[in-house]
Amino acid sequence: RARTSPCRPSRPISNPSACPWGDKAFTGYFGAEQEDKATSWAAHDATHLIASDAWKGKDLKALIDVGTGDDFYKQGQLLPENFAKAVQEAGVTGVTLRYQENYDHSYYFISTFAQDHVDHAAKYLL
């Protein structure tokens, strides 16, 4: 039986090809031309990857936390909603996306929920 490793992002930039940070980073990594965005960028964008045929109907075993007080979330840099929509449309299961009220992009956010992510990983790795 094939095993997949659990995924445990906190504050991820979920759809970098659709946000200013990702645009800047991906332009530096892959080039700015539109054809690059359609190929290279999508191959490194979690939202595009989860929507691909490779993940349709699969079980991802992901625990994702996003703080609603995170300025980067408020600025539209993280875009977890796009990822959640792609998960639903692709029929991917096992994805838990939690919005943590009033948490920002700080050490306290990570330290508060780190044990949840360790426990989540342990369920699949042990």
Tens digits of residue pLDDT in 74-92? 999 999 999 999 999 999 9
Please tell me the distance from the alpha carbon of residue 6 to that of residue 62, in angstroms, as a whole number: 6
**Amino acid identity at 107:** Y
Residue 83 and residue 51 in contact, taking contact as beta carbons nearer than 8 Å: no
Number of neighbouring beta carbons within 10 Å of residue 59: 11
Q: What mean pLDDT do residues 29-54 have? A: 82
Long-range contacts, stretch 83-91, CB < 8 angstroms, 24+ apart:
83/12, 83/14, 83/15, 83/46, 83/47, 83/50, 86/47, 86/48, 86/50, 86/51, 87/50, 87/60, 89/51, 90/50, 90/51, 90/52, 90/55, 90/56, 90/57, 91/56, 91/57
CATH (residue range 16-125): 3.40.50.1820
Q: What is the mean pLDDT of the chain?
A: 87
Please tell me the distance from the alpha carbon of residue 62 to that of residue 30, in angstroms, as a whole number: 27
- Domain residues of the chain, as ranges? 16-125
pTM for the structure as a whole: 0.85
